[in-house]
Amino acid sequence: MVRLKQLWSSVMVLAVVVIGAGAVPITYLESAVAKGAVCLDGSAPAYHFDKGSGSGVNNWIVHMEGGGWCTDIATCVKRKTTMKGSSKFMNKDFGFSGILGGKQSTNPDFYNWNRIKVRYCDGSSFTGDIEAVDPTNKLFFRGARVWRAVIDDLMAKGMSNAQNAILSGCSAGALAAILHCDEFKSILPKTAKVKCVSDAGFFIHGKDISGGSYIESYYNKVVATHGSAKSLPASCTSSMKPELCFFPQYVVKTMQTPLFVINAAFDSWQIKNVLAPTSVDKRKEWKDCKLDLKKCTAAQLQTVQGYRDQMLAALEPVRATTTRGLFLDSCHAHCQGGSAATWSGAQGPQVGNTKMAKAVGDWFYERSTFQNIDCPSLNCNPTCPAVSTED
């Protein structure tokens, strides 16, 4: 469990890496505090807003930051003294790039939209909603309220006139984009084109190396600790246990709003924490392999390859209709749409000879459908960028 927390720290660092120029100042949503829509420590939620211009003035992309989850009182108490649990510790400016980039050359379809990055400070993928606050730990589990307060504020600032809108995110924020997708569409004008994009948020209900599903028990703790059940899509919870409705493969089956999934078949976070979590690796045989696949044995690489098979099975609901899009590369990566280099750059990953910026843009504007699955084995795609073992 200690190792899992350390790995989440790596994801949290990754989620706030700033690539590119054009820093956008933070906006603290102080009015949300009175509604109880607050971070884990009770501080005001926050976001960064770069206003649209020209043809993009009535188009909106709301992108939710990632950074893992906290599963119990102890991990949430620790989290509330960081930028992932309190707006008091957040950086005041954020450079936008990738899917949020403001340059036409690197983000041709969305560069002049209203672009918002919602900061992540609740630890529940914006699903928590418990009224009571324990005076001993002073933790506020209010992620769902935070999400709604931000959306309501953006509606008041012009999103109520949206013609086109995207709800997106990275990692835990991408999971939030899936979980809130239909609700987002229901809030926006009926005349608006509304779609959702998940970048590395398709966490699967996978089997781990012991044959069990550690990630299911992990999500069960998140849902229980944050009181998330009532905020998860009712179309899923009406027929499944709430913790299973944290898995996109079950939520997508009944989703009404078009969704585009960007994911790595060999997702670096999922290999470390879904396939080979430290708690089930009793002999530490996967300790080095899961951090650097070059250190895996032939048998371990076969197991990693098998994880891709699990991923493909979980993605079946996405592939069931062409209104959904899929960019599944065979890279060992996690969150690929946040930098100009990987989103549209010359060295960025391609699937079907297409970069993700073009794939998502064509899908959103319905210039063409896009559901492409990369070549089947690890390292088979020469356009995959090298991944640091610290990723």
Residue numbers annotated as active site:
171, 267, 334
Q: Which residue has the tokens 């700033």?
A: 18
Place of tokens 């703790």: 221
Q: Is the sign of the CA dihedral 307, 312, 313, 317 positive or negative?
A: positive
End-to-end CA distance of the chain: give it in Å, rounded: 18
Tokens 């280099």 correspond to: 341
Give the DSSP H/E element, type plus range, for residue 118.
Answer: strand 114-118
Query: Within its chain, how far is the Cα of 157 from the centroid?
Result: 24
Q: Contact at 8 Å (CB) between 329 and 349?
A: yes
The one-letter amino acid code at 1 reads M
Chain mean position to CA 6? 19
Task: Report yes or no: 141 and 226 within 8 Å, Cβ to Cβ.
Answer: yes
Is residue 163 classed exposed, middle or buried when 0-12, 13-18 and 19+ CB atoms within 10 A define those classes? middle
What is the distance between the alpha carbons of residues 56 and 31, in angstroms, rounded to a whole number?
Answer: 27
**Phi, psi of 170, deg, nearest 5:** -120, 135
> Is residue 292 classed as helix, strand or coil in its secondary structure?
coil
Rounded to whole angstroms, how far apart are CA atoms 168 and 195?
Answer: 9
**125 Rama class: left (phi>0) / alpha (psi -120 to 50) / beta:** left
Check the CA dihedral 373-378-382-383 and report its sign.
Answer: positive
The encoded tokens of residue 87 equal 């707006």
Q: How far apart are CA 387 and CA 390, in angstroms?
A: 8
C-alpha–C-alpha distance, residues 372 and 381, integer Å: 13
